[in-house]
Amino acid sequence: MYQRRCILGLALGGLLAALQPAAAADPYPARPIRLIVGFGAGGVADLTVRVVGQRLGERLGQAVVIDNRPSAGGVIAAEAAAGAPPDGYTLYLLTNGTAISQSLYKTLPYNAATDFAPISQIGQFDVVILTAPDAPYRTVADLIAAARAKPGSLSIGTVNPGSTQHLAAELFKSMAGIDAVTVPFRTSPAVITALRAKEVQVGFEMLAPVKAQIEAGALRPLAVTSDSRFSRLPAIPTVQESGLPGYQVSSWNSLAAPARTPPEIIARLHKEIGTVLAMPDVRQSLLDLGIEPRASSPDALRAMLLAEIEKWRAVIQRAGIEPQ
C-alpha cells in the first residue's frame, strides 16, 4: 500500500508540474538581443540605433547588441534578419532604403513587404535642398523658375544613383516639370565640395551631415523635403510650403523583427520603444543628430512601408533606372 501511494504521489507531482503555465519558463527576454543594421558604424543610422538601443536594453534588462552589416542597398543585413528565428532575439533596422531596394534590384533573397514584422518607427530625418551661399536662388520657386527658363542648364548634385537623395531629386524634377541634369557623386562630402565649388548649382543631401554648415552660413538651405519643418531649424520651409504641393520625401528609421515573431513580443517591444523615445535625453541626442524622434504603431509602420515601396517603384521607373 505504501509503495502504491508513493507511485501515485510521484505521478500526481509530475502531472502538476506539466500543467504549470509556460510563463513560468524564462520570461522574454532571457538573453541579449541582436539588432542588425545595414550601415557601417559611425553613420547617422548607426548612431541612431545606438542611442535607442542602449536605453531599450536598459528597459528590457538585456543588452541590445548592434550588428553592423553594410552592403549595397542593405541587402546583406535584410537577408540575415529575414532568415533569423522569429523569437524576438533578432531585430532589424528597417528604413526607407529597404523600400527603395525592393524595386532597385531584379531579385532579392527576401520580400520587404512580407518577411518582416514591423514594430515602431524611431526617427525621421530630412533631405534638404541646398545651394552655395551666393547662388541666385533664394527659394524653391526661384529654382523652378530658373530651370524652366533654361531647360537642361541646371545641375543637381546627389550621392549614388538609387539613394534617397538621388531619388528625391528625380521626384522633384518630375513633379516640378523641369529638365535638369542629376550628377551623382560617391559620397556626401563630395556633393558638398562640388556645390561650394559651383560644379553643380543645387544639392540634395541629408540634413544631418550639412546641419553645421547651414548654421555657419557656408551653405544656403532652400527647403526641407518632409511634410513639416525640422524643429531645430524652423526657418527653413518645406518644399510643399514653397510652391510644390504634394511633394514629400523623408528618410526614416524603424525597428522590425522577422515575420511570425509572436505578437506579444512585438507588443512588448513597441511599448518599450515608445517609452525610450519619450525620454528627454534620448530626444535631445536624436535632435542633435538632425533626427526628429517619432514612434508609430506596428500597423502604421506597415502601411508606410507598403506606400513607400509603391512610391519609389514609380520614381525609379520614371527616372529610367535599370534594376540591378
- Considering the domain architecture, whether residues 117 and 37 belong to the same structural domain is answered as yes
- Considering the domain architecture, whether residues 34 and 114 belong to the same structural domain is answered as yes
The verdict on residue 97 lying in a domain is yes
- Report CA Rg, the chain: 24
Confidence (pLDDT) at 26: 67
- Considering the domain architecture, whether residues 161 and 195 belong to the same structural domain is answered as yes
Confidence (pLDDT) at 6: 45
Average confidence score pLDDT of the chain: 90
Contacts of 248 (CB under 8 A, 6+ apart): 225, 226, 227, 239, 240
- Considering the domain architecture, whether residues 38 and 48 belong to the same structural domain is answered as yes
For 257-317, the DSSP string reads: EETT--HHHHHHHHHHHHHHHTSHHHHHHHHHTT-EE----HHHHHHHHHHHHHHHHHHHH
| Model confidence band, residue 260 (pLDDT cutoffs 50, 70, 90) | very high
Chain-centroid distance of CA 239 in Å reads 20
The verdict on residue 229 lying in a domain is no
pLDDT digits (tens, 9 = 90+) for 287-321: 988 899 999 999 999 999 999 999 999 999 988 88
Q: Which of 98, 110, 65, 102 is nearest to 253 (CA)?
A: 98
Contacts of 240 (CB under 8 A, 6+ apart): 227, 246, 247, 248
Cβ–Cβ under 8 Å, residues 88 and 261: yes
Contacts of 142 (CB under 8 A, 6+ apart): 136
The verdict on residue 236 lying in a domain is no
Model confidence pTM above 0.75: yes
- Considering the domain architecture, whether residues 120 and 131 belong to the same structural domain is answered as no
- Considering the domain architecture, whether residues 47 and 193 belong to the same structural domain is answered as no
pLDDT digits (tens, 9 = 90+) for 10-55: 444 444 444 444 444 569 999 999 999 998 888 788 889 999 999 9
- Considering the domain architecture, whether residues 276 and 313 belong to the same structural domain is answered as yes
- Which among 189, 224, 259 is the end of a domain? 224
- Considering the domain architecture, whether residues 216 and 284 belong to the same structural domain is answered as no
- Considering the domain architecture, whether residues 52 and 72 belong to the same structural domain is answered as yes
Contacts of 207 (CB under 8 A, 6+ apart): 125, 126, 127, 128, 214, 224, 230, 233, 290
- Considering the domain architecture, whether residues 110 and 139 belong to the same structural domain is answered as no
The verdict on residue 12 lying in a domain is no
The verdict on residue 315 lying in a domain is yes
The domain in which residue 155 lies consists of 126-224
Cβ–Cβ under 8 Å, residues 302 and 118: yes
Domain count, the chain: 2
In this structure, what CATH number is given to the domain that contains residue 144? 3.40.190.10
- Considering the domain architecture, whether residues 182 and 136 belong to the same structural domain is answered as yes
Cβ–Cβ under 8 Å, residues 196 and 218: yes
Residue 265: CB atoms within 10 Å: 18
In this structure, what CATH number is given to the domain that contains residue 102? 3.40.190.150
If one compares 3 and 42, the residue with the highest pLDDT of the two is: 42
